Structure 1
Amino acid sequence: MYLSQTDSWYLERLIWLVAGIFTLSSAILSVLHSPYWLILTGLVGINLIIFALTGFCLMANILYKLGAKPRLNRVSQN
């Protein structure tokens, strides 16, 4: 079984937290207020697919600019 490290709030862990909060919030709002909130759930899913295919994540860029540090840093090869 794979368990992620939980010793700090690193960038990759924060991305999953934000995606979960957005998805759960939009599902609850769709039940309590309007089904149009499910559009937010779809946008979160599309963003996760784009990240998996391209490596680009808008939320990661925003969190990085706010000071979140990635767990692993890319080592440049010369």
Structure 2
Amino acid sequence: MNIDRLVFAFAGTFILLSLLLSQVHSVYWLWVTAFVGANMLQAAFTGFCPLAMILRKFGRQPGCAFS
């Protein structure tokens, strides 16, 4: 699995988990969803993704988005 797919999987997991937690625990979990969405938006324009940088240091191969 390359960095691009791992970033998408990580973001999707956190979005779904925070949505679930907002329904069963507290509405404030939606702030996690907002943070993940904002980070994805800025990464689309700047190419800067902290998770992609961490995964690259662990030796994962970049895809076309974060190369």
Q: TM-score, normalised by structure 2?
A: 0.88
Taking the TM superposition and a 5 Å limit, the aligned residue runs for 1:29-44 are 29-44=21-36
Aligned AA for 2:44? A
Question: Which blocks of at least 5 consecutive residues in structure 1 are unaligned?
Answer: 1-8
Number of equivalences: 66
User: What's the CA shift for 1:63?
Assistant: 1.5
2:2 and 2:31 map into 1 onto residues whose CA distance is 28
Aligned to 2:46: 54
2:31 and 2:4 map into 1 onto residues whose CA distance is 24
Query: Relative contact order, CA 8 A, sep 6+: which one is greater?
Result: 2
Q: TM-score, normalised by structure 1?
A: 0.77
Aligned AA for 2:23? V
> Larger deviation: 65-74 or 10-19?
65-74
Q: Which has the larger radius of gyration?
A: 1
Aligned AA for 2:22? S
1:66 and 1:32 map into 2 onto residues whose CA distance is 35
User: What's the CA shift for 1:71?
Assistant: 2.9
Give 1:24's match in structure 2, choosing from 9, 16, 31.
16
Q: Which runs of 4+ in 1 moved over 4 A?
A: none
Aligned AA for 2:55? L
